[in-house]
């Protein structure tokens, strides 16, 4: 009986240690983790792993490559470094928020989506600011290469983002070819770029095709690049630029942010607009339906242009149906100027249809794991002492 009690107590202690160390698996086969070290170890062992957080964690190291499912399970990730350097294959990132004690200098969640990646974001909120970055920056993904598909549902960026490179609230600067499908996506962060272009939602050097439904930019977007070698070109509330072929449909989209371009460029191909700007491909078409802008468009450089809706000046076209704006003017047919009250009513109707994640405010974690380490030491000591005591009693 005494031996049995000894074994039971030992097992209880060991199981407690395992829980503190974050070692476990859910019934569905996901690796359950309560530290970032455990997340990193699981992914390094299997890049296609399914991860489920069981506690708030601190991302103090960047995971090189990921091709699986990361379920934050409603937890918070304190970001000290980019969570994932690259993602490939079929990737799902869902159900978490990011926080930070201070601004970082790189994208908080993903730097590069590459190859044939099929990426899904669901119920993710970024609260991390980025400042003084020299990299391409996005609240969710910095850049992409290859043929990439990105689906985003119920996602929000609250971080202010600033870079001397391309920068956007959601996807920094997309590469070769990207298919997008966004529903209920919001940028609340102010976006500041010091080179080329910036957007509230995304910019693209490559081709982009897809749909944006109930996508809102509430942040101010500024491109200011007066220094030698920094010739800013475009700024927009949603799509900062789309140099490749763009076939993008925007439905029930909103811009409330002010957009400002300050540049040494003097071409009418460059400027500021609410929803979309510049394409180098004559086949590009931005199709807008029931979209509303209340922001002010400003281009403080001689020869550049502004438009209250879209400015595909260099090539391509924009087609609008039942769209409206409050400030400025537009050359896009199908858009009507309205007063602020009418715009507010229309925006409220769109917002009422949206489903967005709500997470409790969480203070950034310090990353101090000393208590967990102490618990392990105490648990090991307790197991040893219990065993010794019971053996002595048996001997007596």
Mean pLDDT confidence for 118-138: 96
Q: Which domains does the chain have, with CATH numbers?
A: 73-362 (2.160.20)
At 24, the pLDDT band (50, 70, 90 cuts) reads low
Mean pLDDT confidence for 259-280: 79
What pLDDT is stored for residue 186 in this prediction? Answer: 98
Regarding pTM above 0.85, the answer is yes
Say how far apart CA 356 and CA 156 lie, in whole Å. Answer: 8
Which range, 84-98, 235-249, 251-265, is most confident? 84-98
Q: Residue 10 CB: number of other CB atoms within 10 A? A: 16
Whether residue 384 has pLDDT greater than 50: no
**pLDDT, tens digit, for every residue of 318-369?**
999 999 999 999 999 999 999 999 999 999 999 999 999 999 999 998 764 4
**pLDDT, tens digit, for every residue of 59-109?**
999 999 999 999 999 999 999 999 999 999 999 999 999 999 999 999 999
Whether residue 120 has pLDDT greater than 50: yes
What pLDDT is stored for residue 227 in this prediction? Answer: 57
**pLDDT, tens digit, for every residue of 146-183?**
999 999 999 999 999 999 888 999 999 999 999 999 99
What pLDDT is stored for residue 92 in this prediction? Answer: 98
Kindly state the percentage of the chain with pLDDT values over 70.
Answer: 81
Mean pLDDT confidence for 303-313: 83
Whether residue 11 has pLDDT greater than 60: no
């Amino acid at each position: 009986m005494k031996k049995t009690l000894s074994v039971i107590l030992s097992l209880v202690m060991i199981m407690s240690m395992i829980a503190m160390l974050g070692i476990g698996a859910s019934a569905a086969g996901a690796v359950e983790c309560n530290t970032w070290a455990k997340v990193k170890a699981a992914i390094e062992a299997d890049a296609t792993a399914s991860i489920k957080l069981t506690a708030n964690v601190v991302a103090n190291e960047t995971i090189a490559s990921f091709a699986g499912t990361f379920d934050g399970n409603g937890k918070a990730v304190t970001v000290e470094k980019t969570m994932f350097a690259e993602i490939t294959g079929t990737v799902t990132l869902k159900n978490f928020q990011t926080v930070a004690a201070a601004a970082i200098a790189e994208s908080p969640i993903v730097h590069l989506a590459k190859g044939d990646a099929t990426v899904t974001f669901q119920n993710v909120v970024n609260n991390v600011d980025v400042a003084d970055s020299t990299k391409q920056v996005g609240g969710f993904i910095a850049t992409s290469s290859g043929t990439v598909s990105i689906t985003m549902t119920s996602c929000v960026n609250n971080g202010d983002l600033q870079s001397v490179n391309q920068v956007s609230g959601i996807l920094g600067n997309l590469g070769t070819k990207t298919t997008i499908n966004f529903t209920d996506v919001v940028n609340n962060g102010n976006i500041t770029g010091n080179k080329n272009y910036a957007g509230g939602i995304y910019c693209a050097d490559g081709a982009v095709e897809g749909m944006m439904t109930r996508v809102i930019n509430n942040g101010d977007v500024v491109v200011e690049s007066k220094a030698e070698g920094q010739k800013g070109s475009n700024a927009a509330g949603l799509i900062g630029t789309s140099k490749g072929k763009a076939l993008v449909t925007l439905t029930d989209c909103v811009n409330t942010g002010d957009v400002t371009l300050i540049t040494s460029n003097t071409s009418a191909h460059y400027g500021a607009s609410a929803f979309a700007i510049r394409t180098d491909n004559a086949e590009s078409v931005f199709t807008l339906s029931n979209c509303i802008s209340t922001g002010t468009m400003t281009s403080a450089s001689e020869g550049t242009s502004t438009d209250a809706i879209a400015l595909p000046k260099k090539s391509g076209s924009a087609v609008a149906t039942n769209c409206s704006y409050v400030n400025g003017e537009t050359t896009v047919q199908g858009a009507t100027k309205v007063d602020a009250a009418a715009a507010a009513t229309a925006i409220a109707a769109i917002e009422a249809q949206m489903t967005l994640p709500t997470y409790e405010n969480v203070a950034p974690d310090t990353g101090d794991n000393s208590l967990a380490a102490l618990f392990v030491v105490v648990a090991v000591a307790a197991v040893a002492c219990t065993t010794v005591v019971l053996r002595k009693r048996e001997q007596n």
